[in-house]
Structure 1
Amino acid sequence: MSDFPWLSVLIALPLVGAFIVGVLPRERETLVKQTALGVSLVVGALALVMAARFDTGGARFQFDEKYWWIKQFGVHWAVGVDGIALTLIVLSVILVPLVMLASWSEDDRSGGVDVPAKRSVKTYFALLLTLEAAMIGVFAATDVFLFYVFFEAMLIPVYFIIGYYGGAQRSYAAVKFLLYSLFGGLLMLVAVIWLYPLSSKSTADGGLGHGTFMFDELSRMNIDPTTAKWLFLGFFIAFAIKAPMVPVHTWLPDAAQQSPAGALVLIVGVLDKVGTYGMMRFCLELFPGAAKWATPVVLGFAVLSIIYGAVLAIGQVDLKRLVAYTSVSHFGFIVLGIFAMTSQGQSGAALYMVNHGFSTGALFLLVGFMIVRRRSARIGDYGGVQKAAPVLAGTFLVAGLSGLSLPGLAPFVSEFLVIVGTFSRYRWAAVLAVSGVVLAAIYILWMYQRTMGGPKAPEVEGMKDLTAREKWAVAPIIAIIVAMGFFPQPVLDVINPTVKQTLARVDRHDPAPKTTGNVAENGARP
């Protein structure tokens, strides 16, 4: 099955599933859910089989396919995965069925209290499958134009999920999300189109001699430094909005507050990774000189995101907005690791993308379960939940501790690698970023104390603990968080070869360790 079109099948299956769900009778809601869940499980199983066949010592892009799409403009249906893209696809296909399982109950009002009394179940699950196809496509695309198509296609299901299944201010949040994303996408489109005539130039002028959007060919071009800076900004701003980084992050807290918690797992856990993935893949490798030029400013904004996001998280009174602001802080760490341009920093950043998806995914799922029970997202409406629902409180504690990167849980390894990798080249940025670790302990533990600890609030009296379905939805994520906290090496083995290739393209090497005294003069002693 070496010629099996793995990635095209993984993209097509959810779309076929969405179509099947769409034509099922509206009143057959159980069948709709079972069909959608079954399709997502098949997609997940195929993706895991594909991942098991990935050769960490082989070519960078594997399972690649290349067919003409729009030949007149050099556009291909071209897909393939390297180590980082593979791990993000696996993250996506694991989370989608768990989100469906968590959203199974028709009484799920995790988007807020003021939601439509009767929402279309089949539309919601069809949108989730459509979103899954777009997420796989955006990480698999090796044609820059195709990447842009999937980048924009993701907006459609997310817009309708927020706009119809969200809370009281769902229309405002959906439009704000769309406008921010379209603005960034427009800038990237200009940069993508600009690449075509540059590639058409003769090799003597730094081009390829033929128009193309293929990533591997564009990465070999020599672009004029001034032009490269403008192109870098076009891509970077789009990715910074998606990430989200301060100061273009404000769409996320509003979207988080209004969205259903299940959809939030995918929006923050996967979609936002497109921003940091794009920085690492396109900003660094297509425009290495411009990336070095912009590094000091980007590092400054990364540190600002870490501190600003953490400080605002401390002051939140809404559970979903609080978790959203923690993500702003965490994405600052990811960007910091990417632009530190060291092997440890970038490996940590790539691993952080995966770990953050599981950690934040668990938090949002549990917050959604709480909102369904209490009909409120306000922290002040909770208290003493651990007495009424001990399993819910216990899993919430593990998910929260992973959010503050407790040793032994998955995010700790990635955050540690980011800080160490940054410290070796930009000490000032690493030292300032450490304050985010301290602030994380404050906002996570204080949130837990206010909601789970203390005397039992009258409002949580009789609150039900996690059901069997809810346990099945969150248990795999908790298991992954613990397992990757103790044994992250298999994932790092997949990521590291891609990191080395990225650093080679940017022409960056790890700083040599500094030595002093006689050891520096006479060499290391036995």
Structure 2
Amino acid sequence: MGLLSLSIWTPIVFGVLLLAFGRDNCARGVRWVALIGSLLGLAVTIPLITGFDTSSAQMQFVEKVLWIERFNIHYHLGLDGLSFWFVPLTAFITVIVVLASWESITERVNQYMGAFLVLSGLMIGVFAALDGLLFYVFFEATLIPMYLIIGIWGGPNKIYAAFKFFLYTLMGSLLTLVAIIYLYNVSGGSFDIQAWHKLPLGSLPQTLVFFAFFAAFAVKVPMFPVHTWLPDVHVEAPTGGSAVLAAIMLKLGAYGFLRFSLPIAPDASREWAWLMIALSLIAVVYVGMVALVQKDMKKLVAYSSVAHMGFVTLGFFIFNDLGVSGGIVQMIAHGFVSGAMFLCIGVLYDRVHSRDIAAYGGVVNTMPKFAAFALLFAMANCGLPATAGFVGEWMVILGAVKFNFWVGLLAATALIFGAAYTLWMYKRVYLGPVGNDHVKELQDINCREFLILAILAVAVLYMGLYPKPFTDVMDPSVAQLLQHVAQSKLP
């Protein structure tokens, strides 16, 4: 068993143990076991970080074992610069979510923690899978724990939100399964994703494959106009569920474009790039304007996520190194910033039990330490220089201007809208006189909450001030991908 297998199965084993043996009458022990499991899962990724060769575009830490001989299905794992950072990011966010849910979850604690640990391993499996069917199994399996997290521990309309989440994502993925089976037959009975990259597909097959993958990945990102499930799910999901959904699960769709759509159907990707760019710009501009009128904090940040992920897909389909690298950097940065934003909303919700902006006002007077952290994350969400939120957006805007000035100009409006809706929310919630008796009685964050927010603050500032370690890893793989896409594969 290699390092990647350990990264996948360590949290899953701990999660299954919690589901099997955990009980509510020993909730404290369950929480500690969950924390140990998540920390071990994170520790296993450290040798991946120290051992990764940043000068190579080849797959590293490869594991390949025959799984189902009859259909030539392999347990095939590996990482390159496109997928590498999402493995430690997933393990890191899992630790944060376990800590954040320490006191807020009091019922079925073992099932809640177990579901998150299993989900963590499955998501790492998606980023590491190099076998098409293995990827699909991991990709679909992530729906189950998230469906349960929303449906059991969510808000008043949790059942509706859970069904909407499950049906949207499952329906899109069925076409992807058809595409995977088609590629299996065309390649002579191989599920090897890297072998699929070399298939000389015709124009029509490439277009059909491209849109089959688009059906799943666009819903998962989510792109306009299939984004409507996300605000409902975020509003109803518990804080930990919202943090993981925004920080990691949305990235599964964007990663799918990099691993499948662009390299397998490069001509179709170039042909339909105008559509992807148009949908991305609509997400950036229109959804940013929709965020301005939201009264619910979670819904506002949910629409903000759609706008920020629009930057990611825009970067991928302008086909230059700044755009693609910027899109990947934006994915990582959004993982830190959006996770932090939802955890801040959770801190307030645990105390006041309301997500309405109107229910607050003057929080800085009673929670000064917390308000300082919230301001940092709000600024990062706006794309303030020296924060993680700035780096990816700036790279994508530069790449977009290089591609087409007007596309770059429209993309840059996101910085204006982002500042408008984020700072307006901050002003109404945190600044001014104390809004009501609930705010007057608020207690500032405790040591556990301070630790969580401080760790995220360090991550946001470190990535904003020194993004080189992140970009160095991805540069060779991005260059190889762009070279591959630029070379026509039409027979």
Give the TM-score normalised by the residue count of structure 2: 0.97
Per the alignment, residue 52 of structure 1 pairs with 50
Q: Distance in 2 between matches of 1:473 and 1:21?
A: 23
1:75-94 matched pairs, under 5 angstroms: 75-94=73-92
Matched letter for residue 468 of structure 2: Q
Q: Distance in 1 between matches of 2:329 and 2:476?
A: 13
Q: Match of 2:84, SS?
A: helix
Matched letter for residue 262 of structure 1: G
Q: Residue 338 of structure 1 contacts residue 349 of structure 1 at CA under 8 Å; is this kept in 2?
A: yes
RMSD: 1.2
Q: Residue 24 of structure 2 contacts residue 107 of structure 2 at CA under 8 Å; is this kept in 1?
A: no
C-alpha displacement of 1:59: 5.1
Q: Match of 2:187, SS?
A: helix
Matched letter for residue 80 of structure 1: G
Per the alignment, residue 249 of structure 2 pairs with 271
Q: Match of 2:63, SS?
A: strand
Per the alignment, residue 487 of structure 1 pairs with 466
Pick one of 365, 371, 376 that aligns with 2:354. 376
1:299-338 matched pairs, under 5 angstroms: 299-338=277-316
Is 1:235 the counterpart of 2:213? The answer is yes
Q: Distance in 1 between matches of 2:128 and 2:54?
A: 17
Q: 4+ runs of 1 displaced by more than 2 Å?
A: none
Q: Match of 1:86, SS?
A: coil
C-alpha displacement of 1:26: 3.3
**Deviates most, 17-26 or 282-291:** 17-26
1:389-414 residue CA offsets vs partner (Å, 9 max, x unmatched): 00111100000100010011112111
Per the alignment, residue 450 of structure 1 pairs with 428
Q: Residue 225 of structure 1 contacts residue 290 of structure 1 at CA under 8 Å; is this kept in 2?
A: yes
**CA 1:419/1:508 → structure 2, altered by over 3 Å: closer, same or farther?**
farther
**Deviates most, 319-328 or 46-55:** 46-55
Per the alignment, residue 29 of structure 1 pairs with 27
Q: Residue 23 of structure 2 contacts residue 108 of structure 2 at CA under 8 Å; is this kept in 1?
A: no
C-alpha displacement of 1:51: 1.4
Is 1:497 the counterpart of 2:476? The answer is yes
Q: Match of 1:420, SS?
A: helix
Q: Residue 402 of structure 1 contacts residue 410 of structure 1 at CA under 8 Å; is this kept in 2?
A: yes
**Count of aligned pairs:** 486
Q: Distance in 2 between matches of 1:481 and 1:489?
A: 14
Q: Distance in 2 between matches of 1:27 and 1:183?
A: 39
Q: Residue 300 of structure 1 contacts residue 429 of structure 1 at CA under 8 Å; is this kept in 2?
A: no
Q: Residue 21 of structure 1 contacts residue 122 of structure 1 at CA under 8 Å; is this kept in 2?
A: yes
**Deviates most, 402-411 or 51-60:** 51-60
Is 1:391 the counterpart of 2:369? The answer is yes
Q: Distance in 2 between matches of 1:26 and 1:453?
A: 40
Q: Residue 11 of structure 1 contacts residue 136 of structure 1 at CA under 8 Å; is this kept in 2?
A: yes
Q: Match of 2:163, SS?
A: helix
Q: Residue 57 of structure 2 contacts residue 81 of structure 2 at CA under 8 Å; is this kept in 1?
A: no
1:107-506 matched pairs, under 5 angstroms: 107-108=104-105, 119-200=107-188, 211-458=189-436, 459-506=438-485
Is 1:507 the counterpart of 2:451? The answer is no
Q: Match of 1:56, SS?
A: coil
Q: Match of 1:67, SS?
A: strand
Identity %: 38
1:73-123 residue CA offsets vs partner (Å, 9 max, x unmatched): 221110000122110111111110111001000x45xxxxxxxxx620100
1:222-242 residue CA offsets vs partner (Å, 9 max, x unmatched): 011101100110001210000
1:6-21 matched pairs, under 5 angstroms: 6-21=3-18
Q: Residue 98 of structure 1 contacts residue 474 of structure 1 at CA under 8 Å; is this kept in 2?
A: no
1:453-497 residue CA offsets vs partner (Å, 9 max, x unmatched): 111012201201111011111211110111111100011000111
Q: Match of 1:83, SS?
A: coil
Q: Distance in 2 between matches of 1:59 and 1:417?
A: 21
Per the alignment, residue 69 of structure 1 pairs with 67
Matched letter for residue 485 of structure 1: G
1:410-454 residue CA offsets vs partner (Å, 9 max, x unmatched): 121111100111111122221111111111110011000000011
C-alpha displacement of 1:508: 7.1
Q: Match of 1:246, SS?
A: coil
Structure 1 unaligned blocks of 5 or more: 109-117, 201-210, 510-526
Matched letter for residue 497 of structure 1: P
Q: Match of 2:272, SS?
A: helix
Q: Match of 2:200, SS?
A: coil
Q: Distance in 1 between matches of 2:282 and 2:179?
A: 27
Q: Match of 2:355, SS?
A: coil
Q: Distance in 2 between matches of 1:399 and 1:125?
A: 26
Q: Match of 1:78, SS?
A: strand
Matched letter for residue 219 of structure 1: H
**CA 1:508/1:367 → structure 2, altered by over 3 Å: closer, same or farther?**
farther
**Deviates most, 82-91 or 319-328:** 82-91
Matched letter for residue 19 of structure 1: V
Q: Residue 306 of structure 1 contacts residue 328 of structure 1 at CA under 8 Å; is this kept in 2?
A: yes
Q: Distance in 2 between matches of 1:405 and 1:59?
A: 30
C-alpha displacement of 1:24: 2.8
Q: Residue 245 of structure 1 contacts residue 301 of structure 1 at CA under 8 Å; is this kept in 2?
A: yes
Q: Distance in 2 between matches of 1:475 and 1:320?
A: 21
Q: Match of 2:403, SS?
A: coil
Q: Residue 57 of structure 2 contacts residue 480 of structure 2 at CA under 8 Å; is this kept in 1?
A: no
Q: Match of 2:24, SS?
A: coil
